Amino acid sequence: MKLRNRWLAGIVAFVAIAAGGFALFAHQPEIAAAPPGTNDFSAAQIARGERLARTGDCAVCHTAPGGVRNAGGGRFDTPFGLIVSSNLTPDRATGIGAWPYAAFERAMRHGVDREGRHLYPAFPYTSFTRLNDEDMRALYAYLMTQAPVHSVPPPSELKFPFNLRILMAGWNLLFLDRTPWKPDAARSAQWNRGAYLVQSAGHCTACHSPRNAFGAERGGADLFAGGGVVDGWHVPALNTASRAPIAWNADDLYDYLRTGYSARHGVAAGPMAPVVEQLSMLPEDDVRAIAVYVASFAPLNMGTTADLAQREVTLGVLSDGVMAARAQTGAALFGGACAGCHRVNDAPVLFGVRPGLAFNTNLYADSPDNVLRVLLGGIGHAATRDLGYMPAFRYNFNDAQLAALANYLRTDIAGQPAWTDVAAAAARIRSETAP
């Protein structure tokens, strides 16, 4: 045997042994089907589970657009391919109806389904793993007592090698932190309640923390540092990297998370709207706790309460577009098409809210994308009913006009340096969002 072939044989043998060892380590047994009994759950448990399901946005991801609630088919475009959410109703053939608690718990804590297949972390089990036992059982009780729906969602389409689910065992080894959640004794009970909800069911960091090359959330100083893109929306930072012109505090966060609107910040739109829709149905105390926890990450050096009050007045004046009299395309468009609904300091509010645009974090972001998405598509489905709607301007403005308008908002209303290539971005988003 030539040396080269001996080498090759050695390498092949080594790879085979390593792969075999990995497969042995990664192998997860099937858990036998064993549907729970109908009397296994108390009413209190089911109610508690429903609150956790809302905190965890289960239905937001497990419902196809226009489809039956929790029957699966939600689509997630990731850099690794398309992942489709599964049927989460207790249908025995096509949902999780045949799953005993042990199987549900393994999926939520280890990311492995009842049959032993590894799940992809587009399903945020990396956060759900921190749910305590009582909450995990309540969630199971709630899901198992909903109406079963027979539905087989289309298969996921991942690119090779990511279509090999077994690889997720290695991913979990590297990135799944299964340390049970522990309170921080130095903090208040309310802060800890918020921390628990956010880090477990709430999975806020799934969107608000940046991810590494393997798609795992970054922690440490990058916790809540934003920067990810979800459905084409840039997710803002909630920590000291926040671009909000007034630092978020617990009261403003409470308003925003509870109603979808804070007068000092604006509205929750895009992928944040369904999150708020769910949070608006939670007990006040839970939302208050989440607000207190998240506020503890915000920058603290933005001035005294008096400074901020002064800034609020200034931003209100800027929002009114006092420059609108100038014969500049963007200003003229704003005066005609937007000021009627977005002027802060005059005119009665006819319906909904009146978001002052100088307060909107998106105008301070590096990318104009979120603003362009709202201008092209409007806000047809408000986070909560009382916010009102924002009309779409897709057919009213061409890309050059959208660019002029967006940069007017950016430079004159928010006082930031102009964005570049805005018309090209408008053209791209227009085609991505074509009806």
What residues between 290 and 319 interact with ligand HEC by CB under 6 A?
290, 294
Which residue, among 174, 190, 345, 318, has the nearest Cα to 254 in the 3D structure? 190
Binding flag, residue 355, ligand HEC (CB under 6 A)? yes
Which residue, among 288, 284, 276, 286, has the nearest Cα to 384 in the 3D structure? 276
Total of residues contacting ligand HEC (CB under 6 A): 81
Binding flag, residue 343, ligand HEC (CB under 6 A)? no
Coil/strand/helix, residue 7: helix
Residues 39-58 that bind ligand HEC (CB under 6 A): 53, 56-58
Binding flag, residue 119, ligand HEC (CB under 6 A)? yes
- The answer to whether residues 312 and 94 touch, using CB atoms and an 8 Å cutoff, is no
Binding flag, residue 141, ligand HEC (CB under 6 A)? no
Q: What is the DSSP letter of 435?
A: -
Figure out which of the listed residues 138, 358, 379, 403 binds ligand HEC, where binding follows CB under 6 A. Answer: 379
- Listed in sequence order, the residues at least 6 apart from 427 whose beta carbon sits closer than 8 Å to its beta carbon are 399
Coil/strand/helix, residue 253: helix
Tokens of 159: 């690119």
CB 251 to ligand HEC: min, Å: 12
Degrees to nearest 5, angle at CA 54 with 60 and 81: 30
Binding flag, residue 96, ligand HEC (CB under 6 A)? yes
Q: Is the peptide bond before 161 cis (omega within 30 degrees of 0)?
A: yes
Residue whose entry in the numeric block shows the structure tokens 């990135």: 175
Figure out which of the listed residues 362, 407, 410, 426 binds ligand HEC, where binding follows CB under 6 A. Answer: 362
Binding flag, residue 83, ligand HEC (CB under 6 A)? yes
Binding flag, residue 340, ligand HEC (CB under 6 A)? yes
Binding flag, residue 215, ligand HEC (CB under 6 A)? no
Nearer to ligand HEC, 60 or 427 (CB): 60
CB 6 to ligand HEC: min, Å: 41
Phi, psi of 83 (to 5 degrees): -120, 130
Binding flag, residue 272, ligand HEC (CB under 6 A)? yes
- Listed in sequence order, the residues at least 6 apart from 34 whose beta carbon sits closer than 8 Å to its beta carbon are 98, 99, 100
Which residue, among 84, 43, 81, has the nearest Cα to 61 in the 3D structure? 84
Tokens of 263: 């007068």
- Listed in sequence order, the residues at least 6 apart from 184 whose beta carbon sits closer than 8 Å to its beta carbon are 191, 192, 195
Phi, psi of 417 (to 5 degrees): -60, 145
Helix (H) or strand (E) holding 261: strand 261-262
Figure out which of the listed residues 230, 241, 308, 423 binds ligand HEC, where binding follows CB under 6 A. Answer: 230
Q: How far is CA 13 from the centre of its chain?
A: 44
Nearer to ligand HEC, 272 or 425 (CB): 272
Q: HSE (CB half, 13 Å, CA atoms) of 415? A: 10
Figure out which of the listed residues 46, 144, 250, 269 binds ligand HEC, where binding follows CB under 6 A. Answer: 269
Contact region with ligand HEC (CB under 6 A), list: 22-30, 38-46, 120-128, 183-191: 120-128
Binding flag, residue 154, ligand HEC (CB under 6 A)? no
Figure out which of the listed residues 315, 387, 414, 422 binds ligand HEC, where binding follows CB under 6 A. Answer: 387
Nearer to ligand HEC, 15 or 47 (CB): 47
Figure out which of the listed residues 31, 138, 206, 289 binds ligand HEC, where binding follows CB under 6 A. Answer: 206
Contact region with ligand HEC (CB under 6 A), list: 29-37, 182-190, 235-243, 418-426: 235-243
Nearer to ligand HEC, 9 or 107 (CB): 107
Residues 186-205 that bind ligand HEC (CB under 6 A): 198, 201-204
Binding flag, residue 360, ligand HEC (CB under 6 A)? yes
